Structure 1
């Protein structure tokens, strides 16, 4: 069944308090954003003892405008690019009165309601930063945290990393030649159109944020320019009168069907290359989808001027690869993010140009007990996938799932990584790409296989085949 259908039931009554089972492994969750909340809820309802540490004072992560944790890239016009039913957690639908694509404040309210509905807010420690995570000699993990009262060190059986991957700005490297006397900001620092008002703005990038900021600049800036080195297929959010991601056939579908749907969306949306942006040199489906309802009108009206990549900066001007030159006093670099883990030693885990192969985008085969939640870029929303990852991890923690041998884990990991590399063009943007529906199907299949391995393991030990805690 497609994920959308599973969203149509109403949420159950508020969950009764769950008492942690001290015989189960003790777990640390890093982050109180959407992925950390999915992990915390799965652990809480299963009775697994855990601590969740959030750097800021509220839940919601990237969806909280001016989040006190300083890591949110949220801006005033931000709304989801995945429709509400496809973004919501499976057992907690978004309110029926929400629009097809919710605003950032509605998403933040949804996450707060999710926490309160399942009753685990008191399990989240706010205003606390995880500063160091190190393995111990006895296969545990030592976690150092810092708050207003100082540092604390606690040992855990497992650590679930959910610190997000849209908070460490990625700037052009190497920097463009020349000097610039105006202001330069990364899209991570953009909050509202007031930063653009009355200015000569150049936005650099081809993702969703770049298009959103360009549309706002076209509305309020003195002049607005959009620079792209590489073209993208820009899809509309609605297809055949419905949210585009809800126009799909039921059940699991192979990747070529998903790619065909994206090609249909690209054709019906119309080519932005006809409006002056670069012609994409890849097929629809070979890059992460970009969506915008406003960029075509902004380009067509001339409010936003399209340009190729930058060749150099010249004090109060920007020169482009085609020789054109425009005045500028603000450059907005919408050039993506680095994947970093400031609490993990680079010798332990390092993403080489954002490339960090993981089994099912969750498990590092050489680091048992360390799991990554939401460290993927789906053709769809992260939240349902983070939920599925969290449930899978909980099954392992409580003894209902047994992983295959490490060599098989590594083999599968490399095979999946290579398949994704073939499906998407090579860039730091696509190192974590997955197909939403296939990922959920594949993870459910692995859970069933692991459950059978757990039963065989229990039977071979001469104990009851019922689930056991490790």
Structure 2
């Protein structure tokens, strides 16, 4: 009952005052051409909806695969063509959200898919999606985008065949950037790390836990990947030392080889001194310290302020306010990312088709500044501008109100809220729950075929 109450309270507290009312009107660009960068989930969903509307588009993908980060690759560093490996997938990864929130609109997940599928199962689903909608014919595989610039009121996109080295340049009316932000590691600056004689990697290059058998491993960071990799490695390590400053209260009972520590003060040759003065001998370090926003192909003429921590200013978390024929997908944090990407793809397609008109530049900046001012008033970093969190369902409602796209059901946000609490309760058991949607507002959560609760 307490869980149900907390979910209902969080929903009631959503502030709808900041939604931007907009009367849907049409503004049509004759025969628009669209460049979609990347063939991950963002690029594939964009391709599907653009194709359905008969819009001319090309998807540029640097690898020979669809699926982006969802494709596991045992290699680290660069691929066979010398390009950086973008996938951050690891061997034992399972989704950290249940399958109803991982489903792409109009393409049901298989009934036998586990509630929290492995990367392998989910990647097969993405491949099936691309095949079902016949998207590969629109994708130029092994073509890497090297420059996007705005000239003479058009987008000029320069890209290179990664096998032959041949370069091309085309002009487009719209650009949809779908390369994500989970591929460029963010490393902390640790004093005296250069003296440490053990191994140091980022979670981006973490592949499997077996190599850490009987080792003394330090994991830095307590985000989703930090907690997941901690549990993965703890099954094999002699000692798992976990350094973080998260204020989130996890109720998980960790194994006896788990040692919680505060932030790192400094390294020496064989271990780490922590801020509380304690010391641990360490063999290996895994930084689970997040990723940078990294779009090296975007020229200054694109009009975005790019930093490792943020991409600004964006209207509706995606539209480039200074050049609103560019959309940057998937920057939302603390949301059902697959659901959000699908909704953003439909919004972007409606924008390209001319189903609605964006507010003026000043109105969009005013909306963005309101959000930024709230973050600054709380003393939070500007990187929080990408957080949806408790405003996730409000966001979906605003996309529908403005563009006329089908509304993301409120039940998605409710499932994420309950799943978040389940993670806090026990990181070892939250994937044991099965979530079944009853209608747009209601779902049932079960455990071992027993009804747990029906939540509206």
User: What interval of TM-score do these two structures reach, taking the shorter chain for normalisation?
Assistant: 0.7 to 0.9
Aligned pairs for 1:197-212 (under 5 A) are: 197-212=213-228
Flag the 1:142–1:103 CA change in 2: closer, same or farther, 3 A.
same
- In the TM superposition, what is the alpha-carbon distance from 1:417 to its structure 2 partner? 3.7
Q: TM-score, normalised by structure 1?
A: 0.73
In the alignment, which of 198, 205, 220 is matched to residue 189 of structure 1?
A: 205
Q: What is the distance in 2 between the residues matched to 1:42 and 1:207?
A: 33
SS state of the match for residue 315, structure 2?
Answer: coil
Flag the 1:114–1:368 CA change in 2: closer, same or farther, 3 A.
same
- In the TM superposition, what is the alpha-carbon distance from 1:356 to its structure 2 partner? 2.4
Is the CA contact 1:217–1:223 (under 8 Å) kept in the aligned structure 2?
A: no
Which residue number corresponds to residue 350 of structure 1?
Answer: 305
In the alignment, which of 331, 339, 363 is matched to residue 408 of structure 1?
A: 363
Aligned pairs for 1:20-39 (under 5 A) are: 24-39=31-46
SS state of the match for residue 168, structure 1?
Answer: coil
Flag the 1:428–1:101 CA change in 2: closer, same or farther, 3 A.
farther
Structure 1 residue 110 corresponds to structure 2 residue 125: yes
Which residue number corresponds to residue 248 of structure 1?
Answer: none
Which residue number corresponds to residue 238 of structure 1?
Answer: none
Which residue number corresponds to residue 149 of structure 2?
Answer: 134
In the alignment, which of 324, 341, 354 is matched to residue 295 of structure 2?
A: 341
CA shift digits 1:336-382 (9 cap, x unpaired): 01101010135743333512231001112111311111121133x21
CA shift digits 1:249-279 (9 cap, x unpaired): xxxxxxxxxxxxxxxxxxxxx3xxxxxxxxx
Structure 1 residue 330 corresponds to structure 2 residue 323: no
Is the CA contact 2:351–2:403 (under 8 Å) kept in the aligned structure 1?
A: no
Q: What is the distance in 1 between the residues matched to 2:375 and 2:54?
A: 35
Report the number of matched residues: 363
Aligned pairs for 1:293-304 (under 5 A) are: 296-297=252-253, 299=254, 301-304=255-258
Is the CA contact 2:238–2:257 (under 8 Å) kept in the aligned structure 1?
A: no
Structure 1 residue 320 corresponds to structure 2 residue 274: yes
Structure 1 residue 386 corresponds to structure 2 residue 336: no
Q: What is the distance in 1 between the residues matched to 2:96 and 2:375?
A: 22
CA shift digits 1:428-447 (9 cap, x unpaired): 76341113322111111111
Which residue number corresponds to residue 144 of structure 1?
Answer: 158
- In the TM superposition, what is the alpha-carbon distance from 1:230 to its structure 2 partner? 2.9
After superposition, the CA RMSD in angstroms is 2.2
CA shift digits 1:414-463 (9 cap, x unpaired): 2234446668x7357634111332211111111149xxxxxxxxxxxxxx
Is the CA contact 1:308–1:322 (under 8 Å) kept in the aligned structure 2?
A: yes
Which ranges in structure 1 are unaligned for 5 or more consecutive residues? 1-21, 235-269, 271-295, 450-470
Q: Which runs of 4+ in 1 moved over 4 A?
A: 419-423
Q: What is the distance in 1 between the residues matched to 2:197 and 2:112?
A: 47
Which residue number corresponds to residue 402 of structure 2?
Answer: 446
Flag the 1:428–1:416 CA change in 2: closer, same or farther, 3 A.
closer
Structure 1 residue 164 corresponds to structure 2 residue 180: yes
Flag the 1:427–1:221 CA change in 2: closer, same or farther, 3 A.
farther
Is the CA contact 2:242–2:259 (under 8 Å) kept in the aligned structure 1?
A: yes
Q: What is the distance in 2 between the residues matched to 1:204 and 1:104?
A: 23
SS state of the match for residue 155, structure 1?
Answer: strand
Flag the 1:426–1:407 CA change in 2: closer, same or farther, 3 A.
same
In the alignment, which of 87, 98, 114 is matched to residue 99 of structure 1?
A: 114
Flag the 1:233–1:48 CA change in 2: closer, same or farther, 3 A.
farther
In the alignment, which of 48, 56, 65 is matched to residue 49 of structure 1?
A: 56
Q: What is the distance in 2 between the residues matched to 1:82 and 1:444?
A: 24
Flag the 1:402–1:429 CA change in 2: closer, same or farther, 3 A.
closer
Q: What is the distance in 1 between the residues matched to 2:176 and 2:380?
A: 28
